[in-house]
Amino acid sequence: MKFISKTELANHLEISRATLYRRSEKYNVDIEHLNDKGISDDDMDLLTQDSSSKERSDVNEVERLRAEVQRLTADNEDTHVKHERLSQEYDELNKQYRDKVTEYADALVRLNDQQQKLTLDVQDKLHAIEEPKKGFWARLFG
């Protein structure tokens, strides 16, 4: 193939001129006489080799990233399901806790009422047992 200039060859390969120079030096391809001798198909394959391998690596990277996104999406769904389950368990335990606190508070109120009643009963019985109070003169002359 013949090309008028190195720029035309670079455009044909869809690479920059700097890349063209690097690849031609890397693969020892003569690009000085493009319009006279042209460039062989083998040399053309060498110059396009890096871009096709780059495209392959880009495709592989895209596939790897897609697989990673699918894995993360599945992990996210699993985490969401676990979160929902734990949230339900938390709500149930919280309800049980509130019920127990209410039950214990009611029991405490009942015990407090019983204690007050018993205290009043004991005080009444103690007052009944006590000797009647003596007046001033009775205490003096007793």
Query: Please, are residues 73 and 30 in contact by the beta-carbon 8 Å criterion?
Result: no
Which SS3 state, helix, strand or coil, does residue 94 take?
Answer: helix
Q: What is the pLDDT of residue 135?
A: 81
Q: What is the pLDDT of residue 33?
A: 77
Residues sharing a CB contact under 8 Å with residue 2, sequence separation 6 or more, in sequence order? 34, 35, 37, 38, 39
CA distance 91 to 139: 71
What are the start-end ranges of the H helices in the chain? 6-13, 17-26, 41-129, 136-141
Q: What is the pLDDT of residue 89?
A: 96
Q: What is the pLDDT of residue 1?
A: 74
Q: What is the pLDDT of residue 101?
A: 97
Q: What is the pLDDT of residue 52?
A: 55
Give this prediction's pTM.
Answer: 0.41
Q: What is the pLDDT of residue 137?
A: 85
Query: Please, are residues 34 and 4 in contact by the beta-carbon 8 Å criterion?
Result: yes
pLDDT lower than 50: segments of the chain: none
Q: What is the pLDDT of residue 50?
A: 63
Q: What is the pLDDT of residue 4?
A: 81
- Sign for the CA dihedral angle at 39, 42, 43, 45 comes to positive
- Sign for the CA dihedral angle at 18, 23, 29, 35 comes to negative
Reading the block at residue 121, the tokens are 């009963």
Q: What is the pLDDT of residue 142?
A: 66
